[in-house]
Chain A
Amino acid sequence: MGILLFLEQLLNGLQLGTMLFLMASGLTLVFGIMNFVNLAHGSLYMMGAYFAATLFQLTGSLLLASAGAFVGVLILGMALEAIILRGFYHRDHLDQVLATFGLILFFNELVRMIWGPQAYFLALPEMLNGSIELIPGAPYPVYRLLIILIGVAVGAFLYMLITHSRLGMLIRAGASNRGMIESLGVNIRILFTLVFGLGAALAGLAGTLAGPLLAVQVGMGDGVLITTLVVIVIGGIGSVRGAFLAALLVGLVDTFGRMLLPASLAEMSIYILMAAILWRRPQGLFPAHG
């Protein structure tokens, strides 16, 4: 493998990783703090893509469409939490899996009814559609670089939020001992709704960013959900730092695996990675619970 190709694949791996991080950060927070399994996380990703595609057709501005989709999925997530999911916190995981699996079917059918089964088109503005030669001799799509930047920015933002803000303190406290912060008088209901909304909005952002790269279509979130679950298990459930590292790791292993391994083995590479890590560290890389 030439050095150019290696560097280009490195960027590809990072880009896939940052994309996964946007999905995984929300899911791991909800899982870690609320002890709630949300399979419908992929549906929120899909809704983000559809909101953005629709707003883009109406306004013609990708920035407006992205912002609108972010707020839209934030509100959708908080409403979902307040109306339906809140009732499942005290049920066991199997009930939660069933309920949120039902939501996947619901959202897929809803999208089919509103937008139809045909894939939806989300274009890129000319400015983002080209490639630049970041590494001489290996042009790289501008848009994929933008995704890496946004992913890193979101990572930095979450780091600041969690380690240096009051909300972050509550989130950390909630992740390590939920009962204690409740008895200290923190309004856990509002905290949960906020965290769920934040996680949903990040999934929506991931969907929005995926829109110009991928087919915006029914069920687009189902596949990415599985990879996301692998990421949060590797990273340690509840840990945003773990999710970040695991996402990059999975992105790189998947990208280089597809290049270096035969097809059938490449499909398994991230699961082999997961098995290897869990063998040494059954709680994942950075478990949030002590």
Chain B
Amino acid sequence: MLKAALLISTSIALLSFPASAAQDKVKIGFISTFSGPQGVLGRELLDGFNLGLKHLGGKLGGAETVIIQGDDQAKPDIGVQLAEKMVERDKVDVITGINFSNVMLAVAKPVLESKTLLLSVNAGPSQLAGKECHPYYFSISYQNDNVAEAMGQFLAAKGVKTVYLMAPNYPSGKDQMNGFKRFYHGQIVGEVYTQFNQPDYAAELAQIRQTKPEAVFYFYPGGMGINFLKQYAQAGLKSEIPLYGPSFSLDQTILPAVGDAALGAFSTSFWSETMDTSLNRKFVADFEATYGRVPSPYAATAYDGALALNSAIKAAGGSKNREAVRKALETVKLDSVRGDIKFNTNHHPIQNYYLYEVVKDPKGRLTNAHRSEVFRQHKDAYFESCKM
């Protein structure tokens, strides 16, 4: 029903603009997961991107901008269908919005071959940062391993001797744990991969209690994270073994749904809703005023994505000369809610990573409070194998 409605509204939008008028418009193909249990991710990304666009007066680089939205349903094949349609029929200038790494890898080939700019505002698979990097591919968010690397670094420096690892059994889960292990050199006393979207963790929690590690590092985004946190607290483990995770396990898509269960947990990230830059304060305040909730890192990177496209299109003097836009994006100064970021040679960001602790804000809501800086101007582990 929604899809039919989308299709009709898209068609109407397309039909009501004569081809000549559409010439100087910037067309953005926004593919993301809008349905199913992970549908909240697409919503966060699109809302963040739209807020960026709104702050720019609805224009990217001074040109009217249309967003063509597509729901990949978290399925790579559907992502490819949408991308091919957007590239061939809608002739979009940029494809962005993709949140799942497996969708990104599938979509990359047809989009990049058509020399359409592919801007990631979330997914950061290692392949596209290393050997398969491409002049037309940019990630404004991070490379998947980075956030977990920061936590590995922090726990190693803290002198934590034993860590128990938990993640869902899918590629990104393994990436996170590998990123962690790249910087953490203490003892891993357990490494458990659970079924993707497993609802109940009672059996695994009993194992953790028996193993008695000093810390638990876990990667459970979205609903899985909510389940895990609630059950961890109910099992009485919260007061015994502290929890550490990448921000995906403790962001604002999760915190409002877990009550006090997350209080005192630590995460690492490139951004938090409490980050104290003037642009970020404006972003968080306006996001909350517009959408009635506190933004997550998904929304923040999507917002940055809109700002980056704006700067690049402005510098290139319009969106139609794709080579110029691409080149501009490499060198243009990035305005970011994260403060100082820039693209590395593999088109992935060089940025800082911080430690956050989940605390209550004055309104009694859970929020990620800044604790320390873990990495300054951190680069991913793959850029050296990228030859462009």
Contact = CB atoms under 8 A, between A and B. Distances in A.
Contact of A12 (B36, B39, B203): B203
A123 B259 contact: yes
A117 interface: yes
Contact of B206 (A5, A130, A217, A264): A5
Nearest to B223: A215
A9 B200 CA distance: 13
A249 to B, nearest CB: 16
Interface string A143-159: 11000000000000000
Contact of A139 (B236, B253, B258): B236
Nearest to A264: B169
A119 B257 contact: yes
B39 A119 contact: no
B200 A119 contact: no
B234 A16 contact: no
B210 interface: yes
B50 interface: no
A169 B136 CA distance: 70
B227 A215 contact: yes
Would you call the interface of chain B mostly helix, strand, loop, or mixed? helix
Contact of B226 (A119, A130, A223): A119
B210 A214 contact: no
A250 interface: no
Given A117-B39, A213-B231, A258-B194, A15 B199 contact: no
Given A212-B230, A255-B203, A219 B257 contact: no
Interface residues of A, number: 50
> Of residues B2, B200, B210, B222, which shows the largest number of chain A Cβ atoms within 10 Å of its Cβ?
B200
A108 B71 CA distance: 15
A214 B200 contact: yes
Contacts, number: 121
Interface in B240-284: 253-254, 256-259
A217 B169 contact: no
18 contacts: A5-B207, A5-B210, A105-B1, A108-B36, A118-B40, A118-B293, A119-B253, A119-B256, A123-B259, A124-B234, A214-B199, A214-B223, A214-B227, A214-B230, A220-B37, A255-B203, A259-B206, A263-B193
Interface of B: 1-2, 35-37, 39-40, 43, 169, 192-195, 197, 199-200, 202-204, 206-207, 209-210, 222-224, 226-227, 230-231, 233-236, 253-254, 256-259, 293
Interface of A: 2, 4-5, 8-9, 12-13, 15-16, 105-106, 108-109, 112, 117-121, 123-124, 129-131, 138-139, 141, 143-144, 210, 212-220, 222-224, 255-256, 258-259, 263-264, 266-267
Given A15-B202, A258-B203, A264-B169, 17 more contacts: A13-B203, A117-B40, A118-B40, A119-B223, A121-B258, A131-B234, A139-B235, A139-B236, A141-B235, A212-B230, A213-B199, A214-B223, A217-B37, A217-B223, A219-B39, A220-B199, A256-B203
